[in-house]
Structure 1
Amino acid sequence: MADDKEAAEAFVSEVHKRISNAFDVFDHEFNHTVDVREIGTIIRSLGCFPTEAELHDIIAEVEEEEPTGYIRFEKFLPTMTKVLMEHKFRPIPDDLLLQAFEVLDQQKRGYLEPEELSKYLMQEGETFTQEEMEEMLSAALDPDKNVIFYKDFVGMMTIDDTQ
């Protein structure tokens, strides 16, 4: 039984370390706070992908009574620990992501034009901003052919979920 407790404590300790490391990247003042606008990036860097509504719920949970524009580590840690321990906001499996791209690629070419992808992502569902679109295209676009080979892009986007 002691081994189980030690293993659980070691696991929680490792989760806390991961959260702390991700948070520290954005703690530019080294005062255990980050800009509230960085919370989504921090959460995604930990392998969690909440919707915008879910992200707003998390922020509401960790924000001060009187919002300051900053999130304190002490408030972020317990909430994020619970999220990671419960395996919430897991990424979409790569095969489903690939299927989504294949639906958009009606001619079955194996790629999408940047304009096509921009149209879908900026006009449908939870829309991307122009800045988010440009950032994604900078990673997704094949520099020689100026198209998105989505099988390669899905491979880049998915993470090894065996942690």
Structure 2
Amino acid sequence: MAEDKESAKAIVSELHKRISSAFDVFDHESNHTVDVREIGTIIRSLGCFPTEAQLHDVIAEIEEEEPTGFIRFERFLPTMSRILLEHRFRPVPEDLLLQAFEVLDQQKRGHLDPEELTRYLTQEGEPFTQEEMEEMLSAAVDPDKNLIFYKDFVSVMTVDDPW
């Protein structure tokens, strides 16, 4: 029983260190606050990938009563700890991403053209912004053939789940 309690304390302590380190990268004034616009980057750096709507919900939970444009660490820590301990916003597994691309590739060619993918990602679901599309295409498009070989791209864009 005491061993379990010590083990849990060690896990929480390690979790708090990871969260603190990620937060500190963006605490430019060293005053335990970060710009609210950095919260998504911090959360993603911790291996969580919320949608924009989910991110807005998290920000609403940790913001002050009267939003200041900054998030204090003492409000961020408990929420982020809970998110990590509950394994929320986990990355999508590689096989599921591959299936999504295969659905888009109706002719089963093994590739998509950039215009095709742009159309899907800017007009369906939670649309990508122009900047997000440009960033993604710069990593996804084969420069010689001007195509997206999605099997290669999926293996590049997946991350190992640290938990």
Measured after TM superposition, the shift of residue 150 of structure 1 is: 1.0
Alignment correspondent of 2:57:
57
What secondary structure does 1:4 align onto?
helix
Provide the C-alpha distance between the structure 2 equivalents of 1:71 and 1:135, rounded to a whole number of angstroms: 27
Deviation at 1:28, TM superposition (A): 2.0
Q: Which residue of 1 aligns with 2:85?
A: 85
Q: What is the CA–CA distance in structure 1 between the aligned matches of 2:141 and 2:31, rounded to whole Å?
A: 38
Contact 2:39–2:59, Cα closer than 8 Å, also in 1: yes
TM-score, L = length of structure 1: 0.94
Distance 1:71 1:14 in 2: 22
Aligned-residue sequence identity (percent) comes to 80
The equivalences for 1:4-153 within 5 A come to: 4-153=4-153
Q: Which runs of 5+ in 2 are unaligned?
A: none
Deviation readout 1:3-40 (Å, 9 max, x if unpaired)? 11111111111111111121122222222211111111
Q: Which runs of 5+ in 1 are unaligned?
A: none
RMSD: 1.3
| Distance (Å, rounded) in 2 between the aligned partners of 1:57 and 1:129 | 20
Q: How many residue pairs end up in the alignment?
A: 163
What is the CA-CA distance between 1:145 and the residue it aligns to? 2.3
Partner secondary structure for residue 34 of structure 2? strand
Runs of 4+ in 1 over 4 A off after TM superposition: none
- 3-state DSSP class of the match of 1:136? helix
**CA distance in structure 1 between the partners assigned to 2:90 and 2:103 by the alignment:** 22
TM-score, with structure 2 as normaliser: 0.94
Distance (whole Å) between structure 1 residues aligned to residue 35 and residue 48 of structure 2: 19
